[in-house]
Amino acid sequence: MPQFQIAGQYYFITADKKIYWGAVYPEPIQSPGEAIDIAANSSGKLFIVSKTYKDQYGNKVMKWNGSGWDDYLPLIGAKKIALPAGPNAFPFIVDNTGRLLYHSGNFWVQAGSSGMNAISIAACNYMKDISGLPIVCVINGSAPTGGGYEIRRWTGSDWFGLPGGGMTIAVATDGHPWHIRNSTSIYKNDK
């Protein structure tokens, strides 16, 4: 179940694709709409990959407007989404082909070199790195390694390999990625 916390509020999607938020579970508030993935940051931005089919690349990306969901333009298909820190942050997405893209403020741009097949993506939604870049990590399904697949981190222009391998990834508020290996062991990467 994808889940995020902002200012004491948890945002999550249930198995039946319903969107909820609330400070205390089990009495969350249901949001309108349905989604397959959700991303939020500490500045209060909230995005989803909706359950609504867009094209062969995936489902519609939408942004919360305070009372409902607006299409995030230009329209693009996605299956996963991550949102870095900051009030001016733009989302990173993964489409059905495993391609990574980020929003430049006006249009979608391929994030780094081709050949990546992202199977998991996560961003630190609380802080940026010391260079002011968003902290975004992926699991690259094109590169098997011990424990699953290689871990990569965004450099601002391409993806840098990190030690270890995993199947899924998250990034903590301190900027360090955590990953689950194919043995179901959980590891923190201090790089």
Which pLDDT tens digit goes with each residue over 134-186?
Answer: 999 999 999 999 899 999 999 999 999 999 999 999 999 899 999 999 888 88
Find the mean pLDDT for residues 99-127. 91
Count of structural domains within the chain: 1
For the entire predicted model, the pTM comes to: 0.89
Q: Does residue 142 form part of some domain?
A: no
Supply the pLDDT for residue 25: 62
Q: Does residue 147 form part of some domain?
A: no
Supply the pLDDT for residue 160: 93
State which residues form the domain around 43.
Answer: 3-111
Sheet of 148-154, strands arranged across? 118-128, 134-145, 148-154, 159-166
Band (pLDDT 50/70/90 cuts) for residue 27 is: confident
Q: Does residue 57 form part of some domain?
A: yes
Which amino acid is located at 95 in the chain?
D
Q: Does residue 149 form part of some domain?
A: no
Which of 115, 138, 116, 134 is CA-nearest to residue 126? 134
Q: Does residue 157 form part of some domain?
A: no
Q: Does residue 40 form part of some domain?
A: yes
Supply the pLDDT for residue 42: 83
Q: Does residue 150 form part of some domain?
A: no
Supply the pLDDT for residue 90: 93
Supply the pLDDT for residue 111: 93
In this structure, the number of other CB atoms found within 10 A of the CB of residue 161 comes to: 13
Band (pLDDT 50/70/90 cuts) for residue 24 is: low
Q: Does residue 23 form part of some domain?
A: yes
pLDDT over 90, % of the chain:
64
